[in-house]
Structure 1
Amino acid sequence: MAELAGLEAQIGVRLPEEYRTFLLRVGAGGAGPAYGTFPVRRTADRWGWEGDGADLADWSRLAEPFPAAPLDPTALRTLLERCPQEEDFTDTDEDFDTAYEAWDEQWGEVMWAPQRTVGAIVLCHLGCAARQWLVVSGPERGRIWNDDRADEVDLAPLLDTGGRPVTFARWYLDWLDAAEQQLSGTPR
């Protein structure tokens, strides 16, 4: 309990109750959905999450409300349509490379702007640079969000089959149920 209090004091936010319970009763990470739940650990001087992409979260801004509003779909589509295509460049590969690098820089400024994920921590890696985040501040607090930005798809809430937002406990327990069924050979 004292370690959790130390973590929360450092990051300036009380973690969502379901995640707090997980940290106190299950563990600080490890087995879980996809490639496992990123562990939270203390180094010599501070707490932090470890894993491929865990450092995408700005731990100094976790108390700020997560900006749940998606990017303007029309602006996003327009930017994607402006992505240079190699077949449109007949002169040299260098011209395409220059155009693509300029577009990619603009894309990165829009999609990967640090303010897009304030108030959230990266929970796990799904492979191919896809991740899932746990929102810790704001109206989406306690909910899981998908991050497929590496595939040119905006951040989006994880929804269950009924279209309802998935919380940390539902996310983790669904994974446990699926793992148990897989091990027992029982179809889902």
Structure 2
Amino acid sequence: MDEPLTRGEVAELEAQIGVRLPEQYRDFLLHVGAGGAGPAYGLFPVRRVQDRWCWEGDGADLADLSRLAEPFPDRGPDPKLLDDLLSQRPEVEDFDDLEDFDDAIEAWDERWAAVMFAPERTAGAIAISHLGCAQREWLIISGSHRGTIWSDCRVDDVDLAPLLDDGRLVTFAHWYTDWLTNAERATSPSS
């Protein structure tokens, strides 16, 4: 686990990104650590690199640090647009030549990525954990969903979605302590 940040370091980080971090995450950085052990492959650490703060980890750089003060969008792309794009996805059986299929799927992937991975999709959010296979989880730091965790399976053609527990949005503290509780159960000797 990376050492906790000082109040001065958190203030410097927040001044750089132009927004106050959600309280639960802010408290974590101040009292627990700046990253390390956590859900999936761990919590991406926030570190000062060449006099700038950034999050490090596989996919942490997907967050546009210059857009963190912007509100995270309340809605994703138009569902009709997504349905249209998905219906246009090439199928290998529609091609006689595998090279033609490869070209068609590459062109489709570019159109899909332009919609699903547009920078405004994750404004106001930081990638904080890697789940494997290019799937990640994001902490929303600006907007109406501030302080909640969202799943990112866009690599599998699934839109960003909030994590829910009994229909309620999962907050950072809930997400982390749930992992901690489950990790403790998994390592405790059975009675």
C-alpha distance in structure 2 between counterparts of 1:179 and 1:96, whole Å: 44
Q: Which runs of 4+ in 1 moved over 6 A?
A: none
The aligned residue for residue 21 of structure 1 is 27
**In structure 2, do the counterparts of structure 1 residues 186 and 121 end up closer, same or farther at CA, with 3 Å as the change threshold?**
farther
Which residue type is aligned with residue 55 of structure 1?
D
Residue 171 of structure 1 aligns to a residue whose secondary structure is helix
Gaps in structure 2 of 5+ consecutive residues: 1-6
1:110 counterpart = 2:115: yes
Show the 5 A alignment for 1:82-121: 82-90=88-96, 92-121=97-126
State the Cα RMSD in Å: 1.2
* TM-fit CA distance, 1:135: 0.3
Select 2:178's aligned residue among 170, 174, 177.
Answer: 174
C-alpha distance in structure 2 between counterparts of 1:97 and 1:72, whole Å: 27
1:125 counterpart = 2:130: yes
State TM-score, norm by structure 2.
0.93
Residues 135-163 of structure 1, C-alpha deviation per residue, up to 9 Å, x if partnerless? 00000000000000011100000001x11
* TM-fit CA distance, 1:184: 1.0
C-alpha distance in structure 2 between counterparts of 1:158 and 1:174, whole Å: 12
State TM-score, norm by structure 1.
0.95
The aligned residue for residue 8 of structure 2 is 2
The answer to whether the 8 Å contact 1:119/1:138 transfers is yes
The answer to whether the 8 Å contact 1:70/1:156 transfers is no
Identity %: 66
